[in-house]
């Protein structure tokens, strides 16, 4: 993982958090418009950031991303931002990204992703979290049946593809890191 001790380590951590939140913002802009929740690259990027950064920096990068949107920076899907965005249909998914990145990072740090089964399990668990929080919040707004049909079912195939790609990239990254020593 990334060393964060000492002054240079703190600077490195700060840069990684900023880069991670910027990558999340970019991935929010690559979207297929769905209503009420757009389909973006974010769920795959969350897995990559958590897996590459570890649970602390991955979670911090997601918190920084949410804070940027909360203060009004246009980092979310579409053009809306600010506190009101957190009352909208995507708020639950956004909050779930923090736990998703942290869980993926924890799985990598504990070595659970060194096998295919472990990697698949980590990706599934980390991918489910934003859906649980997202669909739960969406159900408050539109009802449970509509939340599942509009906020979960259409996203499952894309989530599986993004999870598989994230797993391949993380496995490659882990292999490179081990060779570099």
Q: Can you give the residue ranges of every domain in the chain? A: 7-176
CA distance 17 to 124: 24
> Helix (H, G, I), strand (E, B), or coil: what is residue 40?
strand
Structure tokens of 60? Answer: 């911090």
3 state DSSP class of 39: strand
Percent of the chain with pLDDT over 90: 78
**What CATH number does domain 7-176 carry, 3.40.50.2300, 3.40.630.30, 1.10.1760.20, 2.30.140.10?**
1.10.1760.20
CA 125 to chain centre: 12
Q: What is the pLDDT of residues 111-166, one digit of tens each?
A: 999 999 999 999 999 999 999 999 999 999 999 999 999 999 999 999 999 999 99
**Structure confidence by residue, pLDDT tens digits, 42-77:** 999 999 999 999 999 999 999 999 999 999 999 998
pTM (two decimals):
0.88
């Amino acid at each position: 993982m990334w060393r964060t001790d000492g002054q240079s380590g703190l600077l490195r951590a700060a840069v990684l958090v900023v880069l991670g939140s910027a990558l999340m913002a970019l991935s929010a802009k690559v979207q297929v418009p769905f209503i009420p929740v757009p389909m973006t690259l974010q769920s795959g990027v969350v897995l990559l950031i958590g897996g590459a950064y570890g649970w602390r920096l991955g979670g911090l990068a997601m918190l920084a991303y949410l804070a940027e949107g909360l203060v009004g920076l246009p980092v979310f899907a579409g053009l809306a931002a600010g506190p009101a965005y957190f009352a909208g249909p995507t708020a639950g998914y956004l909050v779930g990204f923090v736990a998703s990145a942290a869980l993926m990072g924890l799985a990598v740090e504990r070595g659970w992703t060194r096998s295919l089964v472990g990697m698949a399990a980590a990706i599934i668990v980390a991918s489910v979290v934003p859906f649980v929080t997202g669909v739960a919040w969406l159900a408050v707004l539109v009802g449970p049946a509509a939340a599942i049909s509009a906020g979960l079912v259409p996203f499952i195939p894309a989530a599986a593809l993004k999870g598989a790609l994230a797993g391949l990239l993380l496995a490659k990254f882990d292999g490179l890191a081990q060779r570099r020593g």
